[in-house]
């Protein structure tokens, strides 16, 4: 079977789908993945052929970090996805013509690629490396990191917030989505999250135990647990020289206003007798004052550190949060935007760590949060077991192989011909 995987220009989206693609390749399938040009060299040793997405897509950067409000940041990110989608649609159409796949796997943030996938006549799956922004009677409206609240007051709050959030998302996203769907001969959808009912399979790379349990998951949703991967890196020699207890502090691979987190950690934690390993990713490591007994680098293998770490302090990206919890390591999450508020709230819900807002981020509070989180190790291990029970990479591959059985050879060419007539 020939599979075409299409990802957005973000490591946090490419890395989670990579082990799924690699496992499918190991099962004998022909895999071709479109992603970030400078990451493709990592794919060939895994049996995955790679091609760069259209450079015009990579050139459209997310600038939400420039906004001062949560709403402004959210609208900025949606504008970015809308702009990229206009390039994704022809990019995926060309890729389909070039590779003649039997099945498509599309990133949840790629609205243009999803439109082409739906119109292609091919079976297709969508994957979500972050929590699904689906409306549910069992969960608060997505986006603000609201705490679950039952009873009449909770239902009233959720109904009001859902209308406000839904209107904002629809106002920003739907004009582009309507345009794309009309151009490809697809029926209109009423609201943004209707898009997630379109693929035969919607892979959610998390599990209940971390995510809120729900009785109204759509039929196409499959929760498969945390799927973690990163390019192999040598274990640094200096790691053995650092003393325990060891705390990993990470910044996002996408530019955000999160470098203050590492500045505060370096001030707070060594003073409490802890060693800090900081990874700066999008920030310059030389910006940080590092006390003796701690280290800061742009990238370090998190796998090696997690074998010793007592806690992970992070911005709340799903990648590092779930990687820590999968290893049974509790977390302190300081969310700066995007989906991080929801991730932080799930950590609190699972009692697998501590949620600390940026406004309350001080050395004393961070040190206390880390001390509290370390006591949550048993709950972190419980989340890890929930991820394992969900099936991980194997479950994702089996779900993809199942929808492949619906493929009718030549369906794409027939659908494309009908649209052109």
Q: Give percent above pLDDT 70 in the chain.
A: 94
> How far is residue 150 CA from its own chain's centroid?
28
Is the pLDDT assigned to residue 417 strictly greater than 70? Answer: no
Tell me the pLDDT tens digit for each residue of 257-299: 788 999 999 999 999 999 999 998 878 888 899 999 999 998 8
Query: What is residue 71's predicted lDDT score, i.e. its pLDDT?
Result: 67
Average pLDDT, integer, range 323-337: 95
Query: What is residue 416's predicted lDDT score, i.e. its pLDDT?
Result: 42
The average confidence (pLDDT) of the chain is: 90
Is the pLDDT assigned to residue 418 strictly greater than 70? Answer: no
pTM (2 decimals)? 0.90
Query: What is residue 67's predicted lDDT score, i.e. its pLDDT?
Result: 65
Q: How far is Cα 130 from Cα 344, in angstroms, rounded to an integer?
A: 12
CATH number 3.40.50.2000 is the correct assignment for the domain at 237-387: yes
Is the pLDDT assigned to residue 173 strictly greater than 50? Answer: yes
Q: Are the folds of 2-225+391-420 and 237-387 the same?
A: yes
Q: Which pair of structure tokens corresponds to residue 103?
A: 């099945």
Confidence of residue 419 (pLDDT cuts 50, 70, 90): very low
Question: Which CATH fold topology does 2-225+391-420 show?
Answer: Rossmann fold (3.40.50)
Tell me the pLDDT tens digit for each residue of 205-252: 999 999 999 999 999 999 999 999 989 888 888 888 899 999 999 987
Tell me the pLDDT tens digit for each residue of 16-70: 999 999 999 999 999 999 999 999 999 999 999 999 999 999 999 877 666 667 6
Q: Which of 142, 91, 98, 143 is nearest to 115 (CA)?
A: 91
Bridge partners, residue 125, by sequence: 105, 201
- Parallel, antiparallel, or unpaired: how do β-strands 246-250 and 221-223 relate? unpaired
Lay out the sheet containing 309-314: strands in order across: 295-297, 275-279, 246-250, 309-314, 331-333, 353-355
Q: Which of 57, 49, 67 is nearest to 90 (CA)?
A: 57
Environment class of 413 (CB within 10 Å of its CB; exposed 0-12, middle 13-18, buried 19+) = middle
Is the pLDDT assigned to residue 125 strictly greater than 70? Answer: yes
Q: Which pair of structure tokens corresponds to residue 316?
A: 């709340």
Task: Give the domain ranges of the chain.
Answer: 2-225+391-420, 237-387
Instruction: Count Cβ neighbours within 10 Å for each residue of 12-27 and write b for 16 or more, e otherwise.
Output: bbbbbbbbbbbbbbee
Is the pLDDT assigned to residue 413 strictly greater than 60? Answer: no
Query: What is residue 33's predicted lDDT score, i.e. its pLDDT?
Result: 98
Contact 287, 279 (CB under 8 A): no
Average pLDDT, integer, range 345-349: 96
């Amino acid at each position: 079977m020939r599979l075409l995987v299409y990802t957005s220009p973000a490591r946090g989206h490419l890395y989670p789908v990579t082990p799924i693609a690699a496992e499918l390749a190991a099962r004998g399938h022909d895999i071709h993945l479109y992603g970030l040009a400078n990451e493709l060299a990592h794919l060939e040793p895994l049996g995955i052929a790679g091609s760069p997405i259209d450079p015009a897509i990579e050139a459209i950067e997310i600038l939400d970090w420039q906004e001062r409000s949560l709403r402004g940041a959210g609208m900025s990110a949606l504008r970015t996805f809308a702009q990229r989608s206009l390039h994704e649609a022809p990019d995926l159409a060309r890729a389909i013509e070039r590779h003649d796949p039997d099945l498509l796997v599309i990133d949840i943030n790629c609205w243009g690629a999803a439109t082409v996938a739906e119109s292609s006549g091919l079976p297709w799956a969508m994957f979500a490396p972050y929590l699904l922004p689906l409306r549910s009677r069992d969960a608060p409206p997505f986006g603000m990191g609201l705490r679950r609240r039952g009873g009449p007051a909770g239902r009233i709050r959720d109904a009001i917030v859902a209308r406000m959030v839904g209107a904002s998302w629809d106002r920003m996203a739907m004009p582009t989505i309507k345009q794309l769907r009309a151009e490809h001969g697809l029926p209109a959808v009423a609201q943004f999250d209707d898009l997630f009912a379109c693929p035969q399979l919607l892979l959610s790379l998390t599990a209940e135990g971390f995510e809120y349990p729900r009785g109204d998951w759509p039929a196409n949703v499959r929760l498969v647990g945390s799927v973690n991967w990163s390019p192999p890196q040598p274990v640094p020699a200096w790691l053995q020289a650092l003393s325990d207890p060891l705390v990993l502090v990470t910044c996002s691979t996408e530019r955000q206003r999160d470098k203050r987190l590492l500045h505060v950690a370096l001030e707070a934690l060594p003073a409490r007798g802890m060693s800090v390993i900081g990874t700066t990713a999008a920030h310059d490591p030389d910006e940080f004052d590092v006390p003796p007994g701690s280290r800061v680098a742009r990238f370090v293998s998190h796998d090696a550190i997690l074998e010793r770490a007592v806690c992970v302090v992070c911005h709340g990206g799903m990648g590092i949060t779930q990687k820590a919890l999968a290893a049974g390591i509790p977390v302190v999450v300081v969310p700066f935007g995007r989906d991080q508020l929801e991730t932080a709230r799930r950590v609190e819900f699972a009692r697998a760590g501590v949620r600390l807002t940026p406004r309350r981020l001080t050395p004393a509070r961070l040190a206390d949060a880390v001390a509290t989180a370390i006591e949550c190790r048993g709950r972190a291990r419980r989340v890890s077991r929930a991820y394992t029970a969900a099936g991980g990479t194997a479950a994702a591959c089996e779900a993809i192989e199942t929808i492949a059985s619906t493929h009718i050879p030549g369906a794409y060419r027939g659908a494309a011909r009908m649209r052109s007539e």
